[in-house]
Structure 1
Amino acid sequence: MATAQRVPVLVIGGGIGGLAAARAMSLKGRKVHVIEQAPEFSEIGAGLQLAPNALRALERLQVLDEVRADAVFPRQLLMLDAVSGERITTVPIGEAFKERYGHPYAVMHRTDLHAHLLNACRESPLVTLENNRAVVDITDEGEAALVRCADGSTYHADLVVGADGLHSRTRKLLGDDAPPVCEEYVAYRGTVPMAQMTELAGNDSMVGWIGPEMHLVQYPVRRGELFNQVAVFRSHNYKPDSDDWGTVEELEAKFTPLHRLVRASLETIGRDRRWAMYDRPPLDSWVRGRIVLLGDAAHPMLQYLAQGACQALEDAVCLAEFLDRSLNDTDAGLRRYQDARRVHTARVQLTARFFGEVCHATGVAAMFRNSLFRLRDPEDYRLFDWLYGHDPLAAEKESDSQAVNWLRHRSPGTNAVTPYPG
């Protein structure tokens, strides 16, 4: 084995969460080494939603001005029935929304956000970035950890941050060998020039069409030059360990009977790749020795609340802050980080799953959903306060009553939590 390179902090994963963690800790004066298994630092995907809680984190990461230059700030969230075309409900996200939460609601291209975080890390003398480093083994040494890569590179770190995503090797070390949970839904996504879009396309709205076991989300990105679309549906051909499901033919069969604007949008959605929908049950612990999880490695969630990247950004800021507040006591800092984040992110995970069930309802359940949503006052934001108004640095730990409320429904022996509305 080659001599291990000694690093104070090693971040495994160069995605949004990993780069945000490196940026956050460098702003606290810590030296950080980031390793990424891909040949280059890049991000796959298209559009990304950034709720006020994410913008609050980006402000603390000192990249908000750069993000604003590329983002779009819609004035409303519009929910429509994908079958009838009827408006179900609207959430105005203008000045009153911004005043309540301190920041607006933004949408942007995922690669743009990643690029801004990457540039910020590259500009810092405290951050080192390495590619082609696929982690194959992590050894917990109590007050340190040893990380070995496929090419023989080894790192001896005082702290290892596992930001290695849904299929995290770091998470396995903490005792979770179970595979991610497939929801049997797939997404087709992509961007097209604004000029190619239907009459509902524009910079002022983010549109969500919901229908039986499907939904379509549309919004502008990259300063309004592109239009992002995500078409999601449940495949009834799903089989574990098979890739022959959620096909383009199923996509067309599912969307063709829907409203004409949904059908028209289908013609411009990319079909070269599909994304299967996965999450995992909340973990009891994110920490082992000097090894800690962050982002999707800690709490992968379904996309239905658009909070995956938002929660990873909150994690990054929180981890750096509580390590700093704990001075030289790393163990105490990691405990404070976990206490501040674990219950809240579990609530986001479970609410995302519940909201997916609501949006994809069929028959009488869908009629009941539409009727209830139409009754809500568009200016009533109270349902969003727990999420968009949450500041993990202001309240380090969820109350005991919330913890019991969200975690007491764990199924015996499965480490799973039943869906529970937010």
Structure 2
Amino acid sequence: MSALKDTHVIVAGGGIGGAANALALARRGAQVTLFERASEFGEVGAGLQIGPHGSRILKEWGIFDEVVAKGVLPKNIVFRDAVTAEVLTRIDLGREYQEHYGGVYFVVHRSDLHAALVAAARRAGADLVTDADVVDAVTEGDRVHVTLADGSVHAADTLLAMDGLHSTLRRKIHDDKPVGSGYVAFRGTVPMDEVPFADEIEDVVGYIGPRCHFIQYPLRGGTMLNQVAVFQSPAFLRGEEMWGSPEELAHAYDHCHESVRKALGYLWTDKWWPMFDREPVENWVDGRMILLGDAAHPPLQYLASGAVMALEDAKCLSDYAARDLRGDNANWPAILRDVNAERAPRCNRILTVGRMWGDLWHLDGAGREARNELFRIRDTSSYKYTDWLWGYDSGRARPAAAV
């Protein structure tokens, strides 16, 4: 495909979103240069949940089979009460679900998805450069000039700023900072044969409870167990600058069921992730630069859609560019505004609903009892509350072409 053969795009940031955009644009013929500040490409973390809104995109790009072969297709998403371990509700991810959404729900190691995107972007012709930290960008006429930390300047037709939660380039548009949630995540992946209770875990299982939750699911064809423990940090509540620690983890689940407590010993304790997001913003565009991925809309993880939002960004932008560029790079500012107009409402809804969903998971007392009853009586055959999330397709909401 060569619809974009006469355009040059720079991508700042080589995470999942940056690699996805490099792939989506390069496969349509664009000249893509991706700058990554690290010395090599890689992702730190553990498992990711990819809903059908993501698997449909990976299939379109031709890498779904490769990625899902390294993951697991769970049969259900199961919610349990963290205090009693009672099953509150489940989402059947089988044939009816897959037919309804036109895709599957799967789980995969973050590094496996990232490696597949990087390799596919390179095969498509993208130039992926490491040890290259983008520190500034200025639109001058019909070009954007991108400055690296080494002082070199590179010109392109547009810049995709995908430099993450702590984005340097976001500061050119918004004077804001990441927002601490007060919750911290501990993760761990271990071989299944090293975990005595692992045979019981075939689905995505979420224990939700007062001030904490705990997630379990298999990875890499069922050979690995992925676990995530998230709890409210007492140090954050005391107003301390540094919060979340193994010492806090040691007692964060004392009120929870034995099924949760016995699993804590299989978490990593040499690293942890205080959870931040940002306030939703409407404008992501500055001249010929657009913020995308976590630079634009970093979510808390409760809707398991952070990585998929980055894939959606990439599909939306490449689709709009292929439709509206028509060999005229003067159209880039209008294309960026159109992408912004579609994606911001969608992503900002995920940010705000994600915060609400986290509050719901962590209720105590009467609130917990009411939530549990609502989960128990949920109509498991209805998709009315999830269609907005999993049924989204950027092609359906596309604005008229700019002129």
Give the TM-score range, shorter chain. over 0.9
Match of 2:3 in 1: none
| Structure 1 residue 158: Cα displacement | 1.2
| Structure 1 residue 252: Cα displacement | 1.4
Does the 8 Å contact 2:192/2:198 carry over to 1? no
Does the 8 Å contact 1:74/1:203 carry over to 2? no
| Structure 1 residue 198: Cα displacement | 5.0
Task: Summarize the alignment of residues 342-361 of structure 1 with structure 2, pairs less than 5 Å apart.
Answer: 342-361=344-363
| Structure 1 residue 354: Cα displacement | 0.5
Question: Distance in 2 between the 1:224 and 1:154 partners?
Answer: 47
Question: Distance in 2 between the 1:240 and 1:155 partners?
Answer: 43
Question: Distance in 1 between the 2:39 and 2:240 partners?
Answer: 27
Match of 1:275, as an amino acid? Answer: W
Does 165-174 or 310-319 show the bigger shift?
165-174
> Which residue of 213, 219, 222 corresponds with 1:221?
219
Match of 1:60 in 2: 60
| Structure 1 residue 372: Cα displacement | 0.7
Question: Distance in 2 between the 1:90 and 1:20 partners?
Answer: 31
Task: Summarize the alignment of residues 55-94 of structure 1 with structure 2, pairs less than 5 Å apart.
Answer: 55-94=55-94
Residues 65/158 of structure 1: CA separation in 2 closer, same or farther (3 Å cut)? same
Does the 8 Å contact 1:202/1:219 carry over to 2? no
Match of 2:398, as an amino acid? Answer: E
Residues 335/136 of structure 1: CA separation in 2 closer, same or farther (3 Å cut)? closer
| Structure 1 residue 222: Cα displacement | 1.2
Does the 8 Å contact 1:12/1:161 carry over to 2? yes
Helix, strand or coil: the match of 1:246?
coil
Aligned length: 389
Q: Is residue 154 of structure 1 aligned with residue 156 of structure 2?
A: no
Question: Distance in 2 between the 1:94 and 1:314 partners?
Answer: 23
Task: Summarize the alignment of residues 187-226 of structure 1 with structure 2, pairs less than 5 Å apart.
Answer: 187-197=185-195, 199=197, 201=199, 204-226=202-224
Match of 1:251 in 2: 249
Helix, strand or coil: the match of 1:138?
strand
Match of 2:285, as an amino acid? Answer: V
Helix, strand or coil: the match of 1:44?
coil
Does 207-216 or 339-348 show the bigger shift?
339-348
Match of 1:396 in 2: 398
Match of 2:138 in 1: 139
Helix, strand or coil: the match of 1:278?
strand
Match of 1:138, as an amino acid? Answer: A
Match of 1:273, as an amino acid? Answer: K
Task: Summarize the alignment of residues 111-122 of structure 1 with structure 2, pairs less than 5 Å apart.
Answer: 111-122=111-122
Residues 241/319 of structure 1: CA separation in 2 closer, same or farther (3 Å cut)? farther
Match of 1:385 in 2: 387
Does 255-264 or 356-365 show the bigger shift?
255-264
Match of 1:13 in 2: 13
Helix, strand or coil: the match of 1:383?
coil
Match of 1:234 in 2: 232
Residues 168/201 of structure 1: CA separation in 2 closer, same or farther (3 Å cut)? farther
User: Per-residue displacement from partner, 1:138-167 (whole Å, max 9, x unpaired)?
Assistant: 223243221111122221121000011101
- TM-score for the superposition, normalised by structure 1: 0.89
Match of 2:39, as an amino acid? Answer: P
Question: Distance in 2 between the 1:48 and 1:204 partners?
Answer: 15
Does the 8 Å contact 2:201/2:216 carry over to 1? no
Helix, strand or coil: the match of 1:394?
helix
User: Per-residue displacement from partner, 1:5-59 (whole Å, max 9, x unpaired)?
Assistant: xx82100000000000000001111010000000001111000000000111212
Question: Distance in 1 between the 2:141 and 2:180 partners?
Answer: 34
Does 380-389 or 132-141 show the bigger shift?
132-141
Does 288-297 or 378-387 show the bigger shift?
378-387
Match of 1:417 in 2: none
| Structure 1 residue 183: Cα displacement | 0.5
Does the 8 Å contact 2:163/2:294 carry over to 1? yes
| Structure 1 residue 376: Cα displacement | 0.6
CA RMSD of aligned residues (A): 1.6
| Structure 1 residue 241: Cα displacement | 7.2
What is the percent sequence identity of the aligned residues?
43
Question: Distance in 2 between the 1:269 and 1:23 partners?
Answer: 34
Residues 110/202 of structure 1: CA separation in 2 closer, same or farther (3 Å cut)? farther
Match of 1:312, as an amino acid? Answer: A
Q: Is residue 374 of structure 1 aligned with residue 376 of structure 2?
A: yes
Question: Distance in 2 between the 1:181 and 1:392 partners?
Answer: 28
Does the 8 Å contact 2:234/2:248 carry over to 1? no
User: Per-residue displacement from partner, 1:314-357 (whole Å, max 9, x unpaired)?
Assistant: 00010111011112221222122112211011111111000000
Match of 1:251, as an amino acid? Answer: L
Does 141-150 or 209-218 show the bigger shift?
141-150
Does the 8 Å contact 2:184/2:230 carry over to 1? yes
| Structure 1 residue 199: Cα displacement | 3.4
Question: Distance in 1 between the 2:144 and 2:232 partners?
Answer: 41
Match of 2:306, as an amino acid? Answer: G
Question: Distance in 2 between the 1:195 and 1:8 partners?
Answer: 49
Question: Distance in 1 between the 2:197 and 2:398 partners?
Answer: 46
Does the 8 Å contact 2:135/2:169 carry over to 1? no
Q: Which runs of 5+ in 1 are unaligned?
A: 1-6, 399-422
| Structure 1 residue 196: Cα displacement | 2.8
Does 63-72 or 32-41 show the bigger shift?
63-72
Task: Summarize the alignment of residues 39-50 of structure 1 with structure 2, pairs less than 5 Å apart.
Answer: 39-50=39-50
Match of 2:164 in 1: 165
Does the 8 Å contact 1:208/1:215 carry over to 2? yes
Match of 2:293 in 1: 295
Helix, strand or coil: the match of 2:386?
helix
Task: Summarize the alignment of residues 21-36 of structure 1 with structure 2, pairs less than 5 Å apart.
Answer: 21-36=21-36
Match of 1:129 in 2: 128
Helix, strand or coil: the match of 1:342?
helix
